[in-house]
Amino acid sequence: MRKSLLNTLISSTLLLCATSLFAQSTGPAKIEAWITNPDRSALFQKQPEPITFGTNGNRRGSTIVIDDSQEFQSIDGFGFAVTGGSAELMMKMTPAARTKLIHELFATDENNVGVSYIRLSIGASDLNSFVFSYDDLPDGETDFPLAKFNLSQDYKDVIPVMKEILAVNPAIKIMASPWSAPTWMKTNNNVRGGSLKPEYYSVYAQYFVKYIKAMKKEGINLDAVTVQNEPLNSNNTPSMPMLPNEQKDFIKNHLGPAFQAAGITAKIILFDHNLDRIDYPLTTLQDPEAAKFVDGSGFHNYGGDLSAMTTMHMIRPDKNLYFTEQMIVEAPGKQTIDIASPVKRLIIGASRNWSKNVILWNLAADSLNDPHTNNGGCPMCQGAVTLGGDKVSRNLAYYTVAHASKFVRPGSVRIASTNTGDKTVAVTDDEERPGSIRVTTIENSAVLPNVAFKTPDGKIVLIVVNDTYSINSQRIQFRGQFATLRLNPGAVGTYIW
C-alpha cells in the first residue's frame, strides 16, 4: 500500500512539474536574496538587486521546481542550546551589550536573525562550569518527596537570560533535556555514568514535573522535554545511560502518567541520541501504552545518516521527528567560511528528512571554548558566538542557523522542491513545427542541494547550497515562471518571494 502511494506521489510530482508550465498565473515578480560567500565577502547579507522571474522556460538543464501544492511537515523552528555556560558568559556582559546581543539573535524584525528554538538542560550539562542537580544531597541521604528541590544555579544565569530572550520573542519554542538524575537516585552515586535505580522511577518523574512547574512560575513555558540526553553515552560529565526498555518503562509507567496527573502539556520526546540507533525509539513506540504519551523522537548527528529520520517517518508517520543536537565548529580567525557543508547536511538534510526543527550545540562559549565540565566536558564545543566580556564574534553555526531562522518562521511548512535524482519534465518548442511542443523527462543529477518552505504569511523560502567547484548558477521554476539564481561555488543562498 505504501509503495503504491509513493509511486502515485512521484507520478503526481512529475505531472505537476510538466503542467505548471501552462499555469495561468501571473506569479511573483521579484526574489529577495541573502547570501553567504565562502571568502566572507558576504556573510548572510541581503543582495542589493532582487532577482526577476520571467516566463522563458525553453532553456535546457537542471531546474529546481518548487511546488507549493505539495506540503510535508510543519516547522517549529531553528536555533541553539542555551547551555548554562552560555548563560554564564552572557550574564558577565554589561546589561546594554547583553540586550543588544539578545535582540540581534532572537528579535524577528528586519535587522536580526530571529532564532526561534531553544534547548535547555535540566540541571547541568557538560557545558556548565560545574555539575549540579536541583536536589543535591550529602552522601547517604535521600529525598523521596523532593522537599529540597530548587532551581538553584539556574536562578543566577539561565533564568535571567531566558527572561530577557522571552521579552524579545515571547513565542520562542523551548525544549529541555536532562544529562543526569541527582546522584542519590543512581546506581553508582556519581554524576557520570551509572543508571537510574528502578525504585526512583516515580520520584524522578516528579522531578520533571517540579522542574516544568518551577520554570512556568518564572514565566518560562516548556514546549517539550526529552527523557535523557544521549542515553547510550556514559562518557560525558554529567551523563546517565538508559537502555531502551528502561526508557519505555519509565515513560509508560511513570513519566507519562505523572504528566497526565499534573496536567503537564509539554511534549515527551524519545531517545535524543544518534541516527544509527532507530531501534531505540522504536522499542517504546511498538508499545501502544507507552507510545500514547510520546510526541516523537529526537536525534543527534554524531553517528548514522539523516535518512534514518525518513525511515522513522515511514514506520510511524503519526509521530514527529526532531533534530536536537549537532556541534559545528571552525578555526578562529579563518579567512574562509565552510558554510555549504553544515547548511547542506543539517538545514537541508534534516528538513528534507522530516525534522520539525534544527538545534545546534551551542549558543555561546569563550575563546577557549569554556566553560565546560572537567573529565567529560567538551573542550572543542565552539559557540555560535564567541564572547569575551562585551566583545562578540560570530561563528559558522551562527550563519548556518541564520539562513533558515530569519525567514522560515514557526508554523511554516516544507513544500516540494526538486532534489538530486528527482525526475522533472522539460517542455520545448518543436523546431520543425512551430506551435508544437516536445516533452523530455530529465533526471536531475546536477541540481544543487535545496529545501523549500511556505511561511504562515504565504511567502516562499528556498535555501540553496552550491557544493560544487564550478557551477555559478541554478535555474528555478515556480508556477510557470523561471529565474536564475547566481551563487558562487561554496556559497549558500536564502531566497524569498
68 and 80 in a single domain? The answer is no
Q: Which three three-digit cell numbers place residue 385? A: 558566538
E strand segments, 92-134: 117-122
215 and 262 in a single domain? The answer is yes
Tell me the pLDDT band of 16, cut-offs 50, 70 and 90: very low
Q: Average pLDDT of the chain?
A: 92
- Structural domain ending residue among the three candidates 410, 432, 459: 410
Rounded CA gap, 95 and 145, in Å? 39
256 and 178 in a single domain? The answer is yes
Q: How many domains in the chain? A: 2
368 and 467 in a single domain? The answer is no
Rounded CA gap, 497 and 493, in Å? 13
373 and 446 in a single domain? The answer is no
Exposure of 312 in the CB half-sphere (CA atoms within 13 A): 32
Helix (H, G, I), strand (E, B) or coil at 464: strand
Helix (H, G, I), strand (E, B) or coil at 403: helix
Q: Which residue has the cell 509521530?
A: 319
Residue 114 lies inside a defined structural domain of this protein: yes
Dihedral sign (CA 352, 358, 362, 363): positive
Is residue 316 within 8 A of residue 279, CB to CB? The reply is: no
Tell me, what's the pLDDT at 267? 98
Enumerate residues 6+ apart whose C-beta is below 8 A from 485: 31, 33, 51, 464, 473, 474, 475, 476, 493, 495
Q: Are strands 173-178 and 224-226 parallel, antiparallel or unpaired?
A: parallel
Q: Which three three-digit cell numbers place residue 315? A: 514506520
- Look up the CATH number of the domain holding residue 280: 3.20.20.80
Is residue 477 within 8 A of residue 20, CB to CB? The reply is: yes
397 and 437 in a single domain? The answer is no
Tell me the pLDDT band of 12, cut-offs 50, 70 and 90: very low
- Structural domain ending residue among the three candidates 381, 410, 439: 410
Is residue 414 within 8 A of residue 160, CB to CB? The reply is: no
Q: What average pLDDT does range 100-111 have in this prediction?
A: 95
Question: What does the pLDDT look like over 386-415, one tens digit per residue?
Answer: 999 999 999 999 999 999 999 999 999 999
Residue 423 lies inside a defined structural domain of this protein: yes
For the cut 80, the answer to whether the pLDDT of residue 86 exceeds it is yes
432 and 403 in a single domain? The answer is no
Q: Are strands 30-36 and 437-443 parallel, antiparallel or unpaired?
A: unpaired
Q: Among the residues of 107-145, which ranges form H helices?
A: none
Residue 10 lies inside a defined structural domain of this protein: no
Residue 46 lies inside a defined structural domain of this protein: yes
Residue 449 lies inside a defined structural domain of this protein: yes
For the cut 80, the answer to whether the pLDDT of residue 426 exceeds it is no
Tell me the pLDDT band of 438, cut-offs 50, 70 and 90: confident
Tell me the pLDDT band of 445, cut-offs 50, 70 and 90: low
Nearest to 44 by CA among 335, 450, 401: 401
Q: Which residue has the cell 518560562?
A: 220
Q: Which three three-digit cell numbers place residue 129? A: 562550569
Question: What does the pLDDT look like over 152-187, one tens digit per residue?
Answer: 899 999 999 999 999 999 999 999 999 999 999 999
Residue 11 lies inside a defined structural domain of this protein: no
Tell me, what's the pLDDT at 6? 41
Q: Show the domain range for 169.
A: 76-410
- Look up the CATH number of the domain holding residue 460: 2.60.40.1180
360 and 439 in a single domain? The answer is no
Tell me the pLDDT band of 26, cut-offs 50, 70 and 90: low
Q: In degrees rounded to 5, what are phi and psi of residue 311?
A: -60, -45
- Structural domain ending residue among the three candidates 352, 380, 410: 410
Q: What is the 3-state secondary structure (H, E, C) of 366-387?
A: CCCCCCCCCCCCCCCCCCCEEE
300 and 437 in a single domain? The answer is no
Rounded CA gap, 23 and 445, in Å? 26
